[in-house]
Chains A and B, each alone.
Chain A
Amino acid sequence: MGSILIVAEIQGGKIREASYELASFAQSLAGASGRSVASVVMGASIGALAEEFAKRGGGKVYAAEHAALAQYNAETALVAIKAAVAASGADLILISNTPSGWDVAPRLAAALDAGFVSDCFQIAADGNGLVLKRRVFNGKLDATIRATGEKVVASVQPGAIAPFTGQAAGSVEKLAVSLDPAGQKSRFVGIKQSEAKGVDLTKADIIVSGGRGVGDPAKFPEVIKPLADALGGAMGASRPVVDAGWLPHEYQVGSSGQVVSPKLYIACGISGAIQHLVGMKTSNYIIAINKDPDAPIFEVANLGVVGDLFEVVPALTAAVKTAKGG
């Protein structure tokens, strides 16, 4: 059996927490099957990071150092990862489902003619290959997936498992990567930081958010905003609302918007796609109002109402006003 290769990721000069989560998966799979764990760390100057990752679950770390690997680009990352797969003899490659991970992992699978499963939160091996679990239909269903084939590439949902915190035997080996910037068909240009938000939801104690279930841009000022105002809170929204142009991006709560943790979060007509949940699930208390009893939002909410938000929300607004006035 081949080894398990972790594709580690550097962010802000450190190995990402998600990479240590991959180490958890790799170490537990390796322990069960007697396979070895290897990793690839890539960047322009990574000596100390490679040493640290080797000691903390990365196993045999292949250090791919090259100026062209200083910033993420799918083409250069692919060259380094393919070199590490060849050097390690890996038949299972684990990559975090981060913006760079989801960009390169499927391409690696195609290049290796490997089976590919993305955004897994559970990985187990049995006699017939790997069994992986992931969410489908925007979080509404769980799929158990079997991956077979000589090689499997799996991308893993960040936060799916606790990061590896133990010590494990490891070593670092330099990995020669042949990269010629002049011959590249693509290149990293730069990072544009997000602009200052006109609406800072992170400071609000109470957030009332509306989703696709609100159905109409006119209903935000008519139904959602009045409840937020009555409670002295702020109005937020889920991604589909912003994508549809109903509200500007500054109202968006989620992994690609603002990550909030208010004392009270009221989700109205939000089904609860993972990217939204990531942005609000650490709220102190969550109330969800949705007509679909199976909506994933009820999985993270403390209190729920299965019903028509257009009946419940205005009635709640009126009751809050009465309670405050009385």
Chain B
Amino acid sequence: MKIMVCLKQVPHQDARLDIDAAGTWIKEDGIKFEINSYDTYALEEALRIKDAGEAEVVVASIGPERVTQALRTALGMGADRAVHVKDAEVQGSDALGIARVLAAIAKAENPDLILMGLMSDDGNFSAVPPMLAELVGVPHTTAALKIERSGGNVTVDREIEGGAHEVQELKVPCLVAVQTGINQVRYASLKGIMAAKKKPLDVKTAADLGLSGKVGAGAARVKVEKLAPPPKGDRAEILKGSTDEVVKGLVGKIKELGLL
């Protein structure tokens, strides 16, 4: 069985979010990046299937040179091969553009299972997985909290409201977008990181995938015009001063509420 895992490298969750000069994205210079948290759970799920038997895990990602680091980390955790689409022409793609790039890889790789995170920690769009499934022509489901395989089917518990789970059954090949918390994600071992250096990492361009002119900012129908902090309307009153003063203020308020 072959599993393709789509990864996105995103600004670290604790990174400073300063707006760039154009006012349309954040300043990426000097901040740390990491693998999108949702995608790490997808990779872990793939690696568990690999550990349980015969499966090849191919990781794919799109982005500039820095993305190499994310792919090396994934290889260090146990993925077998990586595909990196590194091309300025892809920059500025909207979700459908990104899905087209991943679909071209998926069509070449022909995986039995595509796994990825439900959404990204930066854009929070939650758009690419169902789009990719449509472009590849396979069934999909999202927010997976349990994935079981039997015969040619995958049975998925997906998170719905109120803590309930909805069970969907998909025929293989299929795509499953996972929710955080589906598993406990492993760390790359030192041995794994050493071994990762020898694993194949293919670099591709839009032209290699037959997508020249079909992706990137020019093809995008969805563009961020402005990025700004949310309006600060009814913000909390902030207590200032030393720890003692702040605590005095808090205790005073809790007393006022009649709870102390």
Contact = CB atoms under 8 A, between A and B. Distances in A.
B236 A264 contact: no
A142 B124 contact: no
B158 A99 contact: yes
Interface in A85-104: 98-100, 102-104
A198 B237 CA distance: 35
A147 B129 contact: no
A301 B260 contact: no
Given A110-B99, A307-B246, A115 B126 contact: no
A178 interface: no
Interface string B209-243: 00000000000011111111111111111110001
Contacts of A165: none
A69 interface: no
Interface residues of A, number: 94
Contacts of B17: 137, 140-141, 294
A148 to B, nearest CB: 5
B110 interface: no
Contact of A243 (B130, B180, B222, B226): B180
B174 A185 contact: yes
A102 to B, nearest CB: 5
A74 B156 CA distance: 13
A111 interface: yes
B246 A191 contact: no
Contacts of A223: none
A239 B181 contact: yes
Interface stretch (A31-39, A45-53, A311-319): A311-319
A196 to B, nearest CB: 10
Contact of A185 (B131, B139, B180, B227): B139
Interface in A297-322: 298-307, 311-312, 315-316, 319-320
Contacts of A255: 161
A303 B161 CA distance: 29
Interface stretch (B64-72, B75-83, B140-148, B198-206): B140-148
Given A285-B257, A301-B236, A148 B158 contact: no
Interface stretch (A21-29, A56-64, A116-124): A116-124
Interface in B116-150: 121-135, 138-143
Contacts of B1: none
Contacts of A141: 17, 19, 26, 227-230
Most buried by B among A110, A114, A288: A110
B136 to A, nearest CB: 10
B226 A304 contact: no
Contacts of A103: 130, 140-143, 158
Contacts of B174: 185-186
Interface residues of B, number: 83
Contacts of A99: 143, 158-161, 166
Contacts of B123: 136
B140 A107 contact: yes
A163 interface: no
A316 B251 contact: yes
Given A110-B135, A186-B170, A194 B181 contact: no
A136 B168 CA distance: 29
Contacts of B134: 106-107, 110-111
B236 A302 contact: yes
B167 A192 contact: yes
A138 interface: yes
B251 A323 contact: yes
B232 A231 contact: no
Interface string B14-25: 000101000000
Given A142-B228, A304-B238, A137 B122 contact: yes
A175 interface: no
Most buried by B among A244, A256, A304, A316: A256
Contact of A74 (B121, B130, B225, B257): B130
Interface string A130-151: 0100111111111111111100
A73 B168 contact: yes
B259 A114 contact: no
11 contacts: A74-B130, A99-B158, A104-B130, A115-B94, A115-B222, A138-B13, A143-B224, A146-B225, A189-B167, A263-B257, A316-B247
Interface of A: 72-75, 98-100, 102-107, 109-111, 113-119, 131, 134-149, 152, 185-194, 205-206, 212, 231, 239-240, 242-245, 249, 255-258, 263-264, 284-288, 293-294, 296, 298-307, 311-312, 315-316, 319-320, 323-324
Report, nearest first, the 7 A-B pairs whose CB atoms are least far apart.
A194-B163, A115-B221, A243-B181, A304-B236, A149-B221, A186-B139, A301-B236
Given A137-B11, A141-B227, 18 more contacts: A99-B160, A103-B140, A136-B122, A143-B226, A185-B171, A186-B171, A191-B160, A191-B164, A192-B167, A240-B180, A243-B181, A249-B163, A263-B259, A264-B257, A294-B17, A304-B235, A305-B250, A320-B254
